[in-house]
Structure 1
Amino acid sequence: MLPTAGPPRTRIAALAGRARNIVDSGLCSRTSAVPDWLARLDQLEHLTAAPIADRRATLGTLDDVVVVDILVLSYLRHGTPYALWADTLAGFAEDILGATTWAELHTRVNAVESAHARG
């Protein structure tokens, strides 16, 4: 993972970081360790099947604790907390990277690639 220059750019990015830390630190290593895991797993499955716009709108209305639980389950089941954005590059760019235009996304990707190449 590349080091970041600052805090997460978006609410969802911060929550995904929390979810990664929970799983990577061993605090939650199995699905049943997530509080209210059956309900959260059901939410994850419904969100995964929902149209992109509905999925993103729903995530925006859920409490942070619920979103973290859903992202932890995503990480445990799919190997990434970002599985909900697998079918929407634009949604990922907005929700996670905080980029609102393709030009802004291009600038950020180039900056990361340059930093990675330097060292």
Structure 2
Amino acid sequence: MALGRAILISITVLWGLVLYRQTALAEEFLVGGPEGWTENISNWHPSGMTFHAGDVLEFVYDPREHNVVVVDKHGYETCKAPIGAFENNSGNDQVYLEKGANYFICTKRGCCEKNMKIVIIAE
């Protein structure tokens, strides 16, 4: 019984270290820099920055004017969010990046058509 308890404690400690390591390595990026999430942002990309799965994008904007919707490539290209897509609309949203391509658009007032959309590739 003592051996089983020791193994369980060891596994718990190791899992905690793994989670801590992943959290400690994550970086946070303010989308658009000081200007925030605005129209004509599609060219925003911090120069020389590499994004990783688990990094956080912070979207700051006026929620009366904009939102942030995570979409797929088709949604990005057509500026159409799929039915049931989650709309971030707090004006200060944090979104974790997944490995691969991450697509974001604004679905209000035709903003996406005005290049209020970005794609971030995370390693």
- Structure 1 length-normalised TM: 0.27
Which of the two has higher C-alpha Rg? 2
Greater helix percent: which structure? 1
| More RCO (CA 8 Å, sep 6+) | 1
Q: Identify the structure with the greater strand proportion.
A: 2
TM-score, length of structure 2 as denominator length: 0.26
